[in-house]
Structures are given as C-alpha cells and as structure tokens.
C-alpha cells in the first residue's frame, strides 16, 4: 500500500495552481485534505503523475457572508471550520447540521469542504446538500473563473462539470427563503461510516400553510446525489399531513429511485425501505421547522 512515484507541486496561489493545471491537465490530481485521494493512491487505484497540493494557498480557506444573506465557503476550508462556524450555523443551518454526519473528527480536521464536493462521491453528504439548497460553485482556471449551478455540476460517479484545467475555488449557498424548513438524515452501519442511505430535505410553506417549496435529495443510493423530483412535486400545494409525507416518501422509493444501488452492506430492497423511512422522517422534521407541524 505505497503509491507509485509522482511529481509534487505546492503552489502558493490560485494563479500558480491554475498554471500547473493548464500544464498537466489529466495527468494531475489536486491534493486538498487527502482523505479520499491518499488512500486511493496507496491502493494504487489512482496513479496520478503529478500532485498539485493546494494546502499552501491561504486565499482558498475562508467562510464569508454573501451579499444576498447566503454564505461563501472557500474550497480549502476544513470540515471542522465549517462545522464550528457561527456564520454557517446562522446562515446555512442545513450545512451546520450536516457537518457532524461527515466521517469522524480526525477526518473532518483534514478533509476540506471543496474537496468533498469536487470528489463527488455518491455517498457524500455535501453534494446532496449543495443540490438541495440550490447552491453553486466557482471554478477557476488559467482562462478565468466561471460559476456552475449545483444541478449542472454533478455528472455521475466521481464526475463533475469541472474541466481538467479548473479547480473548485468557492462554494456558495443562498439564504433560505422565509417559512422554510430543512432536515438532514442518514443511517450508517457505524457512527461515521458512509451512509447506507441519506437524505436532505428543504421545504417551504405559503401563508395558508400549504407547501410551496420542496426539494428532496438522497445520497448513497446511486451514481451521485440523487434528487427525488416526483416526491417533491407531489407535495407542492399540499398541507404537510402525515399521510402526504408518507405518500411522498413512498413515491421517492417507488418512482424516483426504484433501483437504488446494492452492495455488501445493503440490498436494493433495504435501501428502498430506508429511502421511504428516512424520507418521511426528514420531511416531517423539515415541515415542523418551517412552522407547519406534520
């Protein structure tokens, strides 16, 4: 479990990193927290010729308020910094609640917020949170910067819209709408393991107490963060009764994600069951928070 040899660069600025990416492209891998990349290299499953270490670029580590009431998170912010941030707790409470679900404290001390999103592991929490909250990411390369909306960012298994010469620089979350509620739920074999099934919910209520916003995103069920649009659509205009939520969760399992992945820890049938069970629990909590007791 030793990696093959590779060239190592430790740029001091985004420009320098972008230049190295432009030069090495597909041969290069970016090293952020290393919590996925280093084991993958030690198993020789990834054998990058060039490693570009982003850990000496201070300009990539920050948590700032955004003008619209949302937040901007620099890609090299450690999970633990986001977890402990008062700004995140106040302006992005779903993220605040999600952070302790991510692995173990040791991993959160090293792992980075941007790294987790760019890695696009289908079992990861943050890609699902990004989709649910309707966030976006800033990609930067030698040719400049561009914004990519969450729903255009995740393309499949460990695949994103980032080009080989781009790095993920910032993640931005909008403010929550008024009368919105959220929830994050997951079930894992052991505390800190990748989820067997996880789900993020964001809902909103109109003045009359009917649902006017519903987003439900699952993870660890497919090739990436997996939205349940039919389940969400079924809630719009409904009052959040227990029956309505159960019906929506049922729809997530039967219509949106009828064929979840199977592995040695959970069959597709058990995952469908968990999609239903966790979906209902998450919606319930989200509607309670939105002010409409379910």
Partner 1 sequence: MTTRTFGQRIRRNEDPVLLTGQALFTDDVNLPGMLHVAFKRSDYAHARILSIDTSLAAAIEGVVAIYTAADLGDYWRPGPLLVSPPPIKDVVFNTRTQVPLARDKVRHVGEPIAMVVATSRYIAEDAAELIFVDVEPLPVVVDMEQALDPAAPLIHEDLTQNLVAHVIQQKGDYAAAKAQADVVVSRRLYYDHGVAAAMENRGVVANWDRKSQHLTVWDTTQAPVVIRNGLSGLLGLSAAQVRVIAPFIGGGFGPKIMMFYPEEVLVPWVSMQLNRPVKWIEDRRENFMSTTHERDQVHWAEIALSKEGRILGFKDFFLHDNGAYGPYGLTVPINSQCTLLGCYDVPAYYSEFKAVFTNKMYVTPYRGAGRQHGVFVMERMLDFAAQELGLSVHEIRRKNFIPPAAFPYNNAIIYQDFAPLVYDSGNYEPALDKALDLIDYDRFVREEQPKLRAEGRLVGIGLVSYVEGTGIGPYEGARVQIEPNGLVNVATGIGTQGQGHFTSFAQLVADQVGVDVRHVRISTGDTDKFHWGTGTFASRGAVVAGNAVHAAAERVREKILKLASEELEAAPEDLELTDGVVRVKGVPGSAIKLGDLAVRANPLRGAVKPGMEPGLEATAYFGPERGVTASGIHALIVEVDPETMQVQIKRYVTVHDCGRVINPLILDGQIHGGIAQGIGNAFYEKVVYDANGQLLNGSFMDYLIPTSMEVPRIEVDHVETPSPSNPLGIKGAGEAGAIPTGPAFAQAVENALAPFGVEILEIPLSPNRLYELVQARRQEA
147 makes contact with partner 1 (CB under 8 A)? no
Give the span between the Cα atoms of 88 and 5, in whole angstroms: 39
Tell me the window of 59-67, 72-80, 184-192, 200-208 that interacts with partner 1 (CB under 8 A). Answer: 184-192
Give the span between the Cα atoms of 216 and 230, in whole angstroms: 10
The Cα-based distances of 92 to 48, 82, 101, 157, 220 in angstroms read 35, 10, 15, 26, 22
282 makes contact with partner 1 (CB under 8 A)? no
273 makes contact with partner 1 (CB under 8 A)? yes
269 makes contact with partner 1 (CB under 8 A)? yes
* Residues of span 213-242 touching partner 1 by CB under 8 A: none
Pick from 168, 249, 274, 286: which binds partner 1 (CB under 8 A)? 274
Question: Which helix (H) or strand (E) segment is 149 a member of?
Answer: strand 144-149
* Residues of span 63-82 touching partner 1 by CB under 8 A: none
Asked if 125 contacts 95 with a C-beta cutoff of 8 angstroms, the reply is: no
281 makes contact with partner 1 (CB under 8 A)? yes
* Residues of span 186-205 touching partner 1 by CB under 8 A: 187, 189-194, 196
1 makes contact with partner 1 (CB under 8 A)? yes
State the binding string over 15-44 for partner 1 (x if CB under 8 A, else -): ------------------------x---xx
Q: What does the block give as tokens for 228?
A: 């349940």
Query: In terms of residues, how long is the chain?
Result: 294
101 makes contact with partner 1 (CB under 8 A)? no
Give the span between the Cα atoms of 213 and 235, in whole angstroms: 8
105 makes contact with partner 1 (CB under 8 A)? no
Measured from the CB atom, the residue of 15 and 27 that comes closer to partner 1 is 27
Give the span between the Cα atoms of 184 and 178, in whole angstroms: 19
Measured from the CB atom, the residue of 146 and 265 that comes closer to partner 1 is 265
Question: Which helix (H) or strand (E) segment is 108 a member of?
Answer: helix 105-110
Other residues' Cβ atoms within 10 Å of the Cβ of residue 292: 20
144 makes contact with partner 1 (CB under 8 A)? no
Nearest to 289 by CA among 149, 94, 98: 94
Measured from the CB atom, the residue of 61 and 99 that comes closer to partner 1 is 99
Q: What does the block give as tokens for 119?
A: 């890695």
Contacting residues toward partner 1, per CB under 8 A: 1-5, 39, 43-44, 187, 189-194, 196, 264-267, 269-270, 273-274, 277-278, 281
């Amino acid at each position: 479990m030793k990696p093959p040899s590779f060239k190592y660069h430790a740029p001091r600025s985004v420009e320098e990193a972008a230049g190295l990416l432009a030069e090495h492209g597909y041969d290069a891998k970016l090293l952020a927290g290393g919590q996925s990349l280093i084991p993958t290299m030690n198993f020789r499953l990834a054998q990058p010729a060039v490693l570009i270490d982003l850990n000496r670029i201070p300009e990539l580590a920050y948590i700032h308020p955004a003008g619209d009431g949302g937040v901007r998170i620099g890609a090299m912010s450690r999970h633990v910094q986001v977890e402990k941030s008062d700004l995140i707790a106040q302006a992005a409470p779903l993220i605040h609640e999600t952070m302790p679900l991510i692995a173990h404290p040791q991993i959160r001390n090293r792992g980075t917020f941007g790294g987790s999103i760019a890695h696009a592991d289908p079992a990861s929490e943050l890609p699902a949170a990004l989709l649910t909250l309707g966030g976006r990411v800033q990609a930067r390369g030698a040719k400049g910067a561009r914004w990519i909306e969450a729903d255009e960012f995740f393309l499949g298994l460990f695949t994103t819209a980032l080009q080989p010469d781009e790095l993920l620089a910032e993640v931005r979350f909008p403010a929550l709408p008024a009368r919105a509620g959220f929830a994050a739920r997951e079930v894992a074999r052991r505390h800190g393991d990748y989820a067997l099934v996880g789900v993020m919910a964001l809902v909103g209520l109109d003045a009359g107490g009917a649902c006017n916003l519903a987003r439900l995103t699952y993870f660890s069920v497919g090739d990436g963060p997996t939205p349940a649009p039919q389940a969400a659509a079924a809630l719009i205009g409904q009052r959040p009764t227990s029956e309505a939520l159960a019906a929506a969760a049922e729809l997530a399992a039967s219509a949106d994600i009828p064929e979840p992945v199977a592995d040695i820890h959970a069959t597709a049938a058990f995952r469908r069951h968990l999609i239903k069970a966790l979906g209902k629990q998450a919606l319930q909590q989200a509607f309670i928070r939105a002010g409409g007791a379910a």
